[in-house]
Amino acid sequence: MLKIVVKATLRVAKPSLKVIKASLRVTKATLKVTKASLRVTKATLKVTKASLRVTKATLRVIKANLKVAKVSLKIAKVDLLSDRTVKIAHPKARSLILLNH
């Protein structure tokens, strides 16, 4: 009787063991995909950070250009009022006058 019970248990356990092994293979494959996805995410983050640095630098350049444009506008206004006989103490303004003439 015991022999029959052991055989029946083995008959049930073997397919269950196959399912467990297959599940383990799937889990390992999923882990590989997850690791690869994590590497891609990290690389994307690096690119995003670099892009942000470039954007910040571009913004600084735009702000500097805006300041120069404002000074240039002031020079143009003074220049129009004084009929091109103006002396300006601001160094950037002076260099802009030299470039414009």
- Contacts of residue 79, Cβ cutoff 8 Å, sequence gap at least 6: 86, 97
Better pLDDT: 58 or 91:
58
pLDDT (tens digit, 9 = 90+) per residue, 51-90? 999 999 999 999 999 999 998 888 877 766 665 544 555 5
Q: What is the DSSP letter of 88?
A: -
- Contacts of residue 74, Cβ cutoff 8 Å, sequence gap at least 6: 93
Domain boundaries, the chain: 2-100
| pTM of the predicted protein model | 0.53
3-state helix, strand, coil in the chain (%, to 5): 90, 0, 10
